[in-house]
């Protein structure tokens, strides 16, 4: 860690995080916005940086959980020495929210604006996929309607929307099992198999059989289990 001898910016930010990648990303984002940034690898280093810096310190951006000094402990100590400083805590673990106490809190990860745009589109796509895939498997929607949704709401191109629909219906039709609908169907299937086999139910044999079926839609997986596994393993 190094503290510049002279800082010309009007706003100085101290970033403290024991993850070097977070420090680099935060420093880049803030620097791109015109701030000058000090970085520290843990709470104690951050406290030392604050004390070594003779000029004003406008903002401390700190992770909640760090070695030697936690984020809240760091903020409390710096606040006593620099009452004019603003503090903002961050964490990728929502268990860190109550630890932040009186200090403002933001969730990680954060990223540059171009990264935020890509991330938001990917989140939109995953949200659309999470219900479109199972809805197609259950016959509650059509490929044409899903393609329109992907183009209108997720802003995919015609080619990308077509590729995504084919993923659900042609290339990997069993992928619905990785979502909540598939999860509930697997739980229901296991319950029914346990009822059918009673004390003879073997969880490992059941899981091995399910995995051996590969990518099957939930309805076909149930058919295979009830027709082939249950009678053969009684």
What domains sit in the chain, N to C, each tagged with a CATH number? 12-107 (3.40.50.2300), 111-217 (no CATH)
pLDDT of residue 114: 78
pLDDT of residue 120: 81
pLDDT of residue 8: 41
Residues (pLDDT < 50) of the chain are 1-8
Read off the pLDDT of residues 28-57 as tens digits, 9 standing for 90 and up.
888 888 888 999 999 999 999 999 998 889
* d(C-alpha 79, C-alpha 131), whole Å: 47
For residue 104, give every residue at least 6 positions away whose Cβ sits within 8 Å of its Cβ, in sequence order, or none. Answer: 87, 88, 89
* d(C-alpha 182, C-alpha 227), whole Å: 19
pTM above 0.75, yes or no: no
For residue 152, give every residue at least 6 positions away whose Cβ sits within 8 Å of its Cβ, in sequence order, or none. Answer: none
Query: Which residue in 15, 26, 22 sits closest to 57, CA to CA?
Result: 15
Under 8 Å between Cβ of 46 and 40? yes
pLDDT of residue 227: 94
pLDDT of residue 4: 47
pLDDT of residue 111: 66
Give the residues across from 12 on adjacent strands. 36
pLDDT of residue 173: 65
pLDDT of residue 74: 92
């Amino acid at each position: 860690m190094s503290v510049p001898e002279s800082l010309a910016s009007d706003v100085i930010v101290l970033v403290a995080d024991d993850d070097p990648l977070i420090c680099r990303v935060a420093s880049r984002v803030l620097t791109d916005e015109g701030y000058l940034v000090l970085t520290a690898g843990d709470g104690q280093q951050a406290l030392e940086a604050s004390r070594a810096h003779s000029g004003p310190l406008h903002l401390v951006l700190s992770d909640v959980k760090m070695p030697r000094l936690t984020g809240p402990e760091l903020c409390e100590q710096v606040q006593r020495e620099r009452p004019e400083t603003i503090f903002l805590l961050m964490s990728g673990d929502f268990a860190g929210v109550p630890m932040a106490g009186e200090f403002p809190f933001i969730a990680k990860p954060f990223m540059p604006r171009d990264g935020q745009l890509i991330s938001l589109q990917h989140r939109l796509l995953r949200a659309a996929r999470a219900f479109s895939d199972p809805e197609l498997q259950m016959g509650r929607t059509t490929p044409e309607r899903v393609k329109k949704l992907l183009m209108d709401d997720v802003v995919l191109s015609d080619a990308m929307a077509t590729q995504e629909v084919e993923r659900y219906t042609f290339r990997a039709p069993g992928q619905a099992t990785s979502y909540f609908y598939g999860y509930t169907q697997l739980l229901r299937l296991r319950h029914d198999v346990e009822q059918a086999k009673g004390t003879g139910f073997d969880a490992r044999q059941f899981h091995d059989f399910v995995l051996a079926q590969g990518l099957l839609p939930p309805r076909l997986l149930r058919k295979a289990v009830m027709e082939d596994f249950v009678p053969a393993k009684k």
